C-alpha cells in the first residue's frame, strides 16, 4: 500500500508535538469505545498513563458494560476516562469532540461491524463505515490545520477487504471484498490513504484479521459457540444452530491486537500493516475444540441452519503479518487453543451465574431465546 510522500511535515510536527506534550499525559480519543476492541484499547492506554476520551452512541439501554470497570465518577478527582456522546453519522458532533478533546491520537474503531447484518442494512453500514470515516478524517484535517500540531490517527481496517483474494493475504494483496461491510471498509481504507497523501495527515490503516475474546459480541461465530458451550454444559440449552462450518479464519486475541494499533501510531511515519497470527482454522475446528474443552461432543448439539449462510462468503483468510513483526516488533502472545480455553471458561462461569439466578426463581427466558437465535 502506498504511504505518504510528504514525510518531512510529519517529522516537523512530530518534533513540535513532542516538545509540547513531553510533560503532559497524552490524550487519546477512541471512536467505538464501548466495543470489544475499544474496551481493551482503553485498558491498554490507561495503563500507559494516557487520558482516554471515548465517543459513545446514545442508546435506550446502557451500552457501556465493557468499559464500566474503567469508568470513574467525573466528579471525583483523577478520572482518566471521559465519555462523550457522538456518532459517526453526525459530523458536527465529531468536530466538536475533536475540538474539545484536542487529542494526540485518534482511534477510529466505530462500525456496524457484523458482516452478515451488513447484507440486511447495507446503506446504514456504508453510511457509518465508509462515509463516517470520511466525515471523521475531514474533521481531523480541519482540526490539524487550525491547531497546527500533529494528531496521529488509526483506521480500523479489516481482512474482510481481501474477501475472495486467495490466502495468504499481505499488505500487497489486492482487495476483493464480498459484503457491503467489506466494500465499505475498503472505501474507508482508500479515503484514509488519500487523505494521508493529499494533506500529509498522520494516518495508519491497520488491516486486522479476526480477533476474539470473552468480550466478543455474542453473534460473532466464536462467541456464539462458546456462549452455547457454557449454557449447554449447565443444561440451559441443548442445540446450537450455525451456518457455514467450512470457512477458514485467522483468529487471534483482541488484547494482543490493540497493542499493534498503538505501535503503528508510535512510528515516525504512518503506514499500513496487516495484523494476524499466520494460522488458519475452520469454523468446524473451532466448534469441535470449544465443545471438547467442556467435555462435550459437538455433533450431539450442533445443527446447520441455512439462515446463517451469507449471500457471498469469504472462504479463507490467512494473514501474512511479517511487516508488522519486522517494523513494529509485534507478535501475538495468545495461541488459538488458549483463546478458546479463555472464552469457554468465561462463558461457563456466565452460564453458572445464569443457572443460579434461575434456581433462585429469577429466570429470564427471553435472554436465552435471543442467544440461541443470534446471527
Ligand atoms: P464492535 O462491534 O464490538 O464495536 C464497534 C463499536 O462501534 C461499538 O462501540 C459501537 O457502539 C460503535 N459504533 C457502531 N455504530 C456507530 C456509529 N454510528 N457511530 C459511532 N460508533 C458506532 O467491534 P470490534 O470492537 O470487534 O471492532 C472494532 C473495529 O475494528 C470495528 O471497526 C470493526 O469493524 C473492526 N475490525 C474488527 C475485527 C475483529 O475481528 N474484531 C477485525 C478487523 C476489523 P455500540 O456499543 O453502541 O454498538
Ligand atoms: P466475520 O466474523 O464475518 O469473519 O467478521 P463472524 O464471526 O461473523 O463469521 C466468521 C465465519 O463464521 C461463519 N459462520 C457464522 N458466523 C456467524 N456470525 N454466525 C453463525 O451462526 C455462523 N456459522 C458459520 C461465517 O459465515 C464466517 O465465515 C468478523 C467481524 O469482526 C468483522 O467486523 C471483522 O472485520 C472481521 O471479522 C475480520
Report CA(114)–ligand 2 centroid distance (Å).
Answer: 7
Q: Which of 173, 131, 134 is nearest to 153 (CA)?
A: 134
The count of other CB atoms within 10 Å of the CB of residue 178 is 20
Residues with a CB atom less than 6 Å from ligand 1: 31-32, 34-38, 57, 59, 63, 87-89, 109-113, 128, 156, 158, 208, 210-211, 217
Element (H, E) at 54: strand 51-56
Query: Could you tell me if the CB of 371 is within 6 A of ligand 2?
Result: no
Q: Are 323 and 276 in contact (CB under 8 A)?
A: no
Q: Are 343 and 216 in contact (CB under 8 A)?
A: yes
The count of other CB atoms within 10 Å of the CB of residue 345 is 15
Query: Which of 39, 113, 118, 158 is flagged as catalytic?
Result: 158
Choice from 110, 133, 189 to test ligand 1 binding pocket (greatest atom count within 8 A of CB): 110
CA-nearest residue for atom 4, ligand 1, is 35
Calpha distance 8→204 (Å, rounded): 17
Q: Are 281 and 336 in contact (CB under 8 A)?
A: yes
Atom of ligand 1 lying closest to residue 207 CA = 43
Report CA(115)–ligand 2 centroid distance (Å).
Answer: 7
Calpha distance 244→373 (Å, rounded): 15
Element (H, E) at 55: strand 51-56
Calpha distance 217→66 (Å, rounded): 10
Kindly state the cell numbers that stand for 287: 466448534
Report CA(356)–ligand 1 centroid distance (Å).
Answer: 32
Report CA(204)–ligand 1 centroid distance (Å).
Answer: 17
> Based on the number of CB atoms within 10 Å of its own CB, is 127 exposed (0-12), middle (13-18) or buried (19 or more)?
middle
Pairing, β 248-249 against β 81-85: unpaired
Q: Which of 189, 134, 137 is nearest to 160 (CA)?
A: 189
Query: Which of 43, 105, 160, 212 is flagged as catalytic?
Result: 160
The count of other CB atoms within 10 Å of the CB of residue 16 is 13
Instruction: Give the residues across from 303 on adjacent strands.
Output: 241
Calpha distance 257→25 (Å, rounded): 23
Atom of ligand 1 lying closest to residue 217 CA = 3
Domains of the chain: 4-214+250-275 (3.40.50.720), 221-247+280-316+334-361 (3.90.25.10)
CA-nearest residue for atom 1, ligand 2, is 115
Is-catalytic flag, 3? no
Q: What string of pLDDT tens digits covers the 375 residues of the chain?
A: 444 445 556 555 655 555 555 568 999 999 999 999 999 999 999 999 999 999 999 999 989 999 999 987 777 667 799 999 999 999 999 999 999 999 999 999 999 999 999 999 999 999 999 999 999 999 999 999 999 999 999 999 999 999 999 999 999 999 999 999 999 999 999 999 999 999 999 999 999 999 999 999 999 999 999 999 999 999 999 999 999 999 999 999 999 999 999 999 999 999 999 999 999 999 999 999 999 999 999 999 999 999 999 999 999 999 999 999 999 999 999 999 999 999 999 999 999 999 999 999 987 665 555 555 667
Q: If DSSP codes are grouped into helix, strand and coil, which group holds residue 317?
A: coil
Q: Which of 220, 256, 221 is nearest to 335 (CA)?
A: 256
Calpha distance 287→225 (Å, rounded): 6
Q: If DSSP codes are grouped into helix, strand and coil, which group holds residue 206?
A: strand
Amino acid at each position: 500500500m502506498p504511504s505518504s510522500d510528504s514525510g518531512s511535515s510529519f517529522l516537523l510536527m512530530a518534533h513540535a508535538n513532542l516538545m509540547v506534550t513531553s510533560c503532559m499525559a497524552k490524550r487519546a480519543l477512541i471512536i467505538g469505545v464501548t466495543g470489544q476492541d475499544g474496551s481493551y484499547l482503553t485498558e491498554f492506554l490507561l495503563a500507559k498513563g494516557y487520558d482516554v476520551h471515548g465517543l459513545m452512541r446514545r442508546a435506550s439501554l446502557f451500552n457501556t458494560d465493557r468499559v464500566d470497570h474503567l469508568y470513574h465518577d467525573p466528579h471525583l478527582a483523577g478520572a482518566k476516562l471521559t465519555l462523550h456522546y457522538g456518532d459517526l453519522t453526525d459530523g458536527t458532533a465529531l468536530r466538536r469532540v475533536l475540538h474539545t478533546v484536542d487529542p494526540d491520537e485518534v482511534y477510529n474503531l466505530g462500525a456496524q461491524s457484523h458482516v452478515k447484518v451488513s447484507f440486511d442494512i447495507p446503506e446504514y453500514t456504508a453510511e457509518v463505515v465508509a462515509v463516517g470515516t470520511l466525515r471523521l478524517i475531514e474533521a481531523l484535517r480541519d482540526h490539524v490545520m487550525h491547531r497546527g500540531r500533529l494528531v496521529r490517527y488509526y483506521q480500523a481496517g479489516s481482512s474482510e477487504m481481501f474477501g475472495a483474494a486467495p490466502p495468504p493475504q499481505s499488505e500487497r494483496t489486492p482487495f476483493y471484498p464480498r459484503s457491503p461491510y467489506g466494500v465499505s471498509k475498503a472505501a474507508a481504507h482508500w479515503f484514509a490513504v488519500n487523505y494521508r497523501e493529499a494533506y500529509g495527515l498522520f494516518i495508519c490503516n491497520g488491516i486486522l484479521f479476526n480477533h476474539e475474546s470473552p468480550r466478543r459480541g455474542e453473534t460473532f461465530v466464536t462467541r456464539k459457540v462458546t456462549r452455547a458451550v457454557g449454557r449447554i454444559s449447565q443444561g440451559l440449552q441443548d442445540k446450537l444452530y450455525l451456518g457455514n462450518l467450512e470457512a477458514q479464519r485467522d483468529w487471534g486475541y483482541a488484547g494482543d491486537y490493540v497493542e499493534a494499533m498503538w505501535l503503528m501510531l508510535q512510528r515516525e511515519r504512518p503506514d499500513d500493516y496487516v495484523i494476524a497470527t499466520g494460522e488458519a482454522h475452520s469454523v468446524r475446528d473451532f466448534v469441535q475444540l470449544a465443545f471438547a474443552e467442556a467435555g462435550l461432543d459437538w455433533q450431539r448439539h450442533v445443527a446447520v441452519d441455512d439462515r446463517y449462510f451469507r449471500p457471498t462468503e469469504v472462504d479463507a483468510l490467512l494473514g501474512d503479518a511479517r511487516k508488522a513483526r519486522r517494523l513494529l516488533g509485534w507478535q501475538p502472545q495468545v495461541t488459538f487453543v488458549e483463546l478458546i480455553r479463555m472464552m469457554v471458561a468465561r462463558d461457563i462461569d456466565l452460564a453458572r451465574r445464569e443457572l443460579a439466578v434461575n434456581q433462585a426463581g429469577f429466570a429470564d427466558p427471553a435472554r436465552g431465546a435471543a442467544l440461541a437465535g443470534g446471527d
